[in-house]
Amino acid sequence: MALVFGLGLLIGSCVNVLIHRLPRMIMAEPTTPEHAQRYNLCWPASHCPHCHTPLKVWHNIPLLSFAWLKGRCNFCQHEISAQYPLVEFTTGLIWLLSVWHWGLNVTGFCWAGFTTVLLALSVIDYQTTLLPDDLTLGLLWGGLLASTLGWLPLPLHQAVWGAVIGYTFLWTVAAAFERVTGKQGMGAGDFKLLAALGAWLGPLALLPVIMLASLSGAAVGLILKCSHRLRDDGYLPFGPFLAIAGHLVAVIGINDISLWLGWSFFE
């Protein structure tokens, strides 16, 4: 289990790179083709975002480097965001608990990867309101592939229908909202994320996922509004709530979630 946790920490370090660089790769407007090719997930090498000094290998050890450096850059002494160790620790915990829940097997590793991608998407959406196709579509195809190979207990036809219904449902809701109000309620990234959740969890899981995400999103939005901490435009990213709801349904199960919500038709 210690090795699994350590693997999760290493993957968490990569997740931090995704969170930091992927939105910038999407939003960047390079002036030359050469510049576009020079910024990606691998280049430039890890560096301090403030003084831009390249980091040494021992500056990138998950959790330990942050503690050793006392949360500050070794070169410019600028404070390092607590997001880095938090994401690393959370990812390590995700991998540890996934293997503990589903077993030290390919299924356990599949669900660990599933939840890791949801974590990355949640942080990116919260910070930038983006849900990158590289992650949402990768998660969708990953679910279909895992179902095809028998790594998940979900039959392939249910995975396909889950993806189709998930995308279609949110697209329909968003289109109806925009037609009535003239405003965009949610982006296409949310459709793709729910489609990915459907590919992993199946069509019957979509209603509990949407209900949990909607209720939690409404509650958090109301709290933020009452405390005057809601964004100026009033927008609250829906992706993190979909991700949390999808993870809860995956861990707890459709039947138990449905009973908790007071529904009996899933039995």
Of residues 184 and 117, more confidence is placed in: 117
Residue 34 has pLDDT above 50, yes or no: no
pTM: 0.90
Q: What is the pLDDT of residue 166?
A: 96
Q: What is the pLDDT of residue 263?
A: 57
Mean pLDDT of all residues belonging to the chain: 88
Q: What is the pLDDT of residue 105?
A: 96
Lowest-pLDDT choice from 85-99, 197-211, 213-227, 235-249: 213-227
| Cα–Cα distance, 263 to 257 (Å, whole number) | 9
The per-residue b/e assignment along 227-265, b for 16 or more CB within 10 angstroms, e otherwise, is eeebeeeeebbbbbbbbbbbbbbbeeebeebbeeeeeee
Q: Where are the domains of the chain?
A: 1-26+40-104, 131-267
